[in-house]
Chains A and B, each alone.
Chain A
Amino acid sequence: MTIPPVGLPHYLVLAAVLFALGLFAVITRRHVIGVLLGIELMLNAANINLVAFSRYGSLGPVANLSGGAALDGQVFALMVIALAACEAAVGLAIVLRLYQTLATTNPDEVGAMKW
């Protein structure tokens, strides 16, 4: 019996499962900050994909040696981290504002913009 070594599929499957778990948190959490935590999980799952592709992707380590072309995935991951910081700051400010104006933190009770 031969077990394949750790490769791209391992990371992609793990990222898919983490993404689904993040979606579960977004749907089921009863507190707005819990929803934000789920979004952070989903962003991290996407980041794992980006970094895994930069390691194992078709541009792979061969391109890595010739001018660092395959490092694009890591660059994207770093940008996603920066955007996640923005998202967390603005999201938490909205949560604080939400509690000040509506005195609730349950996303279900905020229906003013519901169609």
Chain B
Amino acid sequence: MRWVGLTPTQIVEYVAFLAAAGASLVTALGVLFAPRVLHAAIWLLFCLLSIAGLYALLGAHVVFAIQILVYAGAIAVMIIFAVLLLERGTGRGILGGSQHLLAGVVGAGALAAVLVPAVAYACWKQWAAAASMPTPPSGNAAAIGRLFLTRHLLAFELISVVLLVAMIGAMVLARPDRRRGELPEDVQEAQAEDTTSEWRAPLNVGAEEDAE
């Protein structure tokens, strides 16, 4: 049985794609225009989840799982934590809002005006050819793991180094500024009472280097 040239399976795929794509676009608009940054971060969380749905439609089950675990589970939650930390630091709700709206419309509009027609033109022939594509084999986690440990072994090892450097760098950067006394009060008192001052000297040196 065919309807507008599609088999029932393809119709279901089409509807699922439209749902996931529409959800990702709507939530992306939420990221763009939410009045508060916290709300924008929560919109981003749902945008990441709908993009995970797209991965599931593409048969990329590993990427689907990692997207939910790492992106939605870790990165989005970390951003929300950072927003809450900043709100506590400023003592008020963080202003969202937009600026340079004209520049944004022109820049992003120009990019979309170039990208979308170019992409559509470049793979125009695939619109018809896609019908003959067989479905990919499911459960490709073993194959991906094998790729990571054979062909992409160097990149796999390098990314662990990058993760370590990023972790150390984030800890160094987010260290409270000790010169301005922005530490919690109990730590400040402990520092004031500390007469040996051996452990303060290197910290101050580091803070001065940061300032330069």
CB-based contact B25/A17 at 8 Å: yes
Does B173 contact A94, Cβ atoms closer than 8 Å?
yes
When each residue 105-120 of chain B gets 1 if its CB lies under 8 Å from chain A and 0 otherwise, what string results? Answer: 1011101100110011
Partner of A90, one of B115, B129, B134, B173: B173
**A94 cross-chain contacts in B, Cβ below 8 A:** 173
**Closest-CB distance, B165 to chain A (whole angstroms):** 8
The interface on chain B, measured as residues whose beta carbon lies within 8 A of the other chain's beta carbons, has a size of 102
Report if B206 contacts A (CB, 8 A). no
- Option from B37, B130, B163 in Cβ contact (under 8 Å) with A8: B130
| Closest residue of A by beta carbon distance from B108 | A24
Within 8 Å CB of A82, what residues of B?
70, 159, 162-163
**Chain A residue with Cβ nearest B80:** A33
Q: In the complex, A11 Cα to B165 Cα: how many Å?
A: 34
Contact residues in B for A24 (Cβ distance below 8 Å) = 32, 104-105, 107-108
| Shortest CB distance A26–B (Å) | 8
Interface stretch (choices B175-183, B184-192, B193-201): B175-183
Q: Is the CB of B163 within 8 A of A79?
A: no
The secondary-structure label for the interface of chain A is: helix
Q: How far is the CA of A63 from the CA of B100 in the complex (A)?
A: 47
Q: A51-B55, A96-B174 are in contact. Are A19 and B111 (CB under 8 A)?
A: yes
**Whole-angstrom distance between the Cβ of A31 and the nearest chain B Cβ:** 5
On chain B, the residues within 8 Å of A84 by CB distance are 71, 75
Task: Pick the residue among B63, B133, B169 that contacts A60 (CB under 8 A).
Answer: B133
The smallest beta-carbon distance between A94 and chain B, in angstroms, is 6
Question: Nearest chain A CB to B178's CB is how many angstroms away?
Answer: 11
Q: Taking the complex as formed, is B203 at the interface, i.e. its CB lies under 8 A from any CB of chain A?
A: no
User: Is the pair A8, B123 in contact by a Cβ cutoff of 8 Å?
Assistant: yes
Residue on A with the closest CB to B122?
Answer: A12
B159–A33 CB distance below 8 A: no
Known: A7-B131, A21-B25, A40-B48. 5 other contacts (CB 8 A): A4-B131, A29-B96, A44-B71, A47-B51, A92-B79
Q: Which 9 pairs show the lowest CB-CB distances between chains A and B?
A: A7-B130, A86-B166, A2-B5, A68-B143, A20-B112, A24-B108, A28-B104, A93-B173, A16-B115
User: A residues touching B (Cβ–Cβ < 8 Å)?
Assistant: 1-14, 16-25, 27-31, 33-34, 36-38, 40-41, 44, 47-48, 51-52, 54-56, 60-62, 64-65, 68, 71-72, 74-75, 77-79, 81-90, 92-97, 99-101, 105, 108
In the assembled complex, 15 residue pairs joining A and B whose CB atoms fall closer than 8 Å, in A order, are A1-B4, A6-B13, A6-B57, A21-B32, A21-B108, A23-B108, A28-B98, A29-B40, A41-B47, A82-B159, A82-B162, A90-B170, A92-B174, A96-B85, A101-B211
